[in-house]
Structure 1
């Protein structure tokens, strides 16, 4: 079990926030499979501040998925704290501040992982946001901005001193994006220097890597990102392995097909058929990677426009 502020999680497995992936339908599936905490797609504090209409859908939360962490990104301490206050009544349990996003349009705005270059600003943002709300505030960081600026330990101590309830460390620099190998040793270093919970992130793709991350770093929580795309079963597999030492068999072709259809139905329910099914194209490619005929299925799935044609396609290829 893991406690973040006053929020008790059933286990220490956490779904990472991923733009275009961790929307409401996918989070519901990960919850079913045993994720202890679900992180939403990151939302721009500035966009909420200026009443951007697109942010509303990003902030939709279903009571079945709680506890949920809502992630804000921004670089203005005033706007970050004001928005935290404005949205606090929404049904999320934890507010996370993004200081790890490597995407150029975010970094060029001095947001996301660019904040790691400005420890003073990190302190202001975290301090003001923590003061603004009663809910626990967490922060997601990287190893550093680049190999010449590896300052995760320094930034983590500032975050702790500023009142945050937990910290997530992704073991890559901004420069690495998601390439190369995650440096788990930096997670261990942070864990040794702060007393708030430390959540390790990077390269957890199966039960064995989850256990290895925990053993090598002593981290309190395990955050799973790209390894869970097309594989929500990963949460139940890791839980079984960490709690009972049991390696669960991989899902069958039939189970994969059923999960894709369930996912697609949730997409249609929450986003309508037009958007929902188009968004299912990438998910279907992830779910079926490595399946027989998957290359042909992936090229065909890009032509489907409704739920019935998706089901027919799966019936044809996933046998």
Structure 2
């Protein structure tokens, strides 16, 4: 499948997955700095966007600006067709070049509201939601699902075929059922059934932690591209590395030493600016932990930064915290 088959200029076909509490605007910016075909926002509850006074959280999640060369898909979740359609219009009006429909989230809070992957148990309603969103906007609409609800409900191919007929332009499949949550291993082979059922591009998602995984997922599934989630935590350059290894894109310069400390400091300061200092300090801690883990930094400094509330002290500690333990010894 050629790049031209994608709904946007998705070069390379390596996409940052939507992750609640992680793929906020600051993180999408740092991933885009290295390069990706597409980044996806955190999941946004459609009901939060269409109220008379939308929540600040929903509004901030829907901000689509990242980098002119890397488009952002705004991902919506819900089970009311009218609210989904209206939220899609709002996101398009705010500049979103793509709208993604979430039918894959396994979280209890989402599934408890009969949204996310719970919709795979209601394919007729799922189709109504898709039709409503596609009919409401002029930008491309994409869909993300799992293989099914559980081993007795493996209907991703059927839903994908219906979605294609309704006008969805790309489909991402996480190679697990909802019942599996994130346990076991993603079944990339099972994604092949979806690839064979539709003509639109399909992305393989789940357990893609590097170029070798991406290559294996593409071979097993026949998918046109990959979506990378948890593997990018602490390694925002990973998508660019996969693009270089598989698609001949420029190889990113992976920062080390002072360059890495400068990158993390910039990301940290962006989070403080985006969320405000008090909340930003707390939200940033998980990212700092992932960066330190990826760099194999000293455990004592990691622990210190997980408690530190003074931004200046955090930034001052980063060069030592990001030094590999064998070099720090």
Which category describes the TM-score, using the shorter chain as reference length?
over 0.9
Deviations 1:44-74 (A, max 9, x none): 0011122332211112232525411000000
Query: Residue in 2 aligned with 1:22?
Result: 23
Q: 2 CA distance for matches of 1:133 and 1:246?
A: 34
Q: 1 CA distance for matches of 2:190 and 2:314?
A: 44
Residue 296 of structure 1: how far off its partner (Å): 1.8
Matches within 5 A, 1:285-300: 285-289=289-293, 291-300=295-304
The count of residues paired between Structure 1 and Structure 2 equals: 319
Among candidates 184, 187, 194, match of residue 183 of structure 1: 187
Deviations 1:151-196 (A, max 9, x none): 1111111111121111110001111111210000121111011001
Query: Residue in 2 aligned with 1:278?
Result: 282
Among candidates 50, 55, 66, match of residue 58 of structure 2: 55
Matches within 5 A, 1:185-204: 185-204=189-208
Deviations 1:21-46 (A, max 9, x none): 10111101111111110100010001
1:43 counterpart = 2:47: no
Residue 290 of structure 1: how far off its partner (Å): 5.3
* Contact 2:85–2:132, Cα closer than 8 Å, also in 1: yes
Scaled by the length of structure 1, what TM-score is found? 0.93
Secondary structure in structure 1 of the residue aligned to 2:286: helix
Q: 2 CA distance for matches of 1:161 and 1:18?
A: 28
Residue 127 of structure 1: how far off its partner (Å): 1.0
Secondary structure in structure 2 of the residue aligned to 1:173: coil
Query: Residue in 1 aligned with 2:32?
Result: 31
Deviations 1:212-247 (A, max 9, x none): 111221211210000001111102211221134999
Residue 103 of structure 1: how far off its partner (Å): 0.5
Query: CA separation of 1:75/1:283 partners in 2, compared to 1, >3 Å: closer, same or farther?
Result: same
Secondary structure in structure 1 of the residue aligned to 2:35: coil
Q: 1 CA distance for matches of 2:117 and 2:301?
A: 37
Residue 11 of structure 1: how far off its partner (Å): 1.5
Query: Residue in 1 aligned with 2:88?
Result: 84
The gaps in structure 2 that reach 5 residues or longer are: 324-329
* Contact 1:73–1:97, Cα closer than 8 Å, also in 2: yes
Please report the RMSD computed on the Cα atoms of aligned residues, expressed in angstroms. 2.1
* Contact 2:281–2:309, Cα closer than 8 Å, also in 1: yes
The gaps in structure 1 that reach 5 residues or longer are: none
Matches within 5 A, 1:1-319: 2-3=3-4, 6-50=7-51, 51-53=53-55, 54-62=57-65, 64=67, 66-244=70-248, 251-289=255-293, 291-319=295-323
Residue 6 of structure 1: how far off its partner (Å): 4.8
* Contact 1:113–1:174, Cα closer than 8 Å, also in 2: yes
Q: 2 CA distance for matches of 1:163 and 1:283?
A: 37
Residue 257 of structure 1: how far off its partner (Å): 2.4
Deviations 1:238-287 (A, max 9, x none): 12211349998965344432321121121123223222222111001111
Q: 2 CA distance for matches of 1:165 and 1:79?
A: 21
* Contact 1:2–1:12, Cα closer than 8 Å, also in 2: yes
Secondary structure in structure 2 of the residue aligned to 1:14: strand
Query: Residue in 1 aligned with 2:327?
Result: none
Secondary structure in structure 2 of the residue aligned to 1:71: strand
Secondary structure in structure 2 of the residue aligned to 1:85: helix
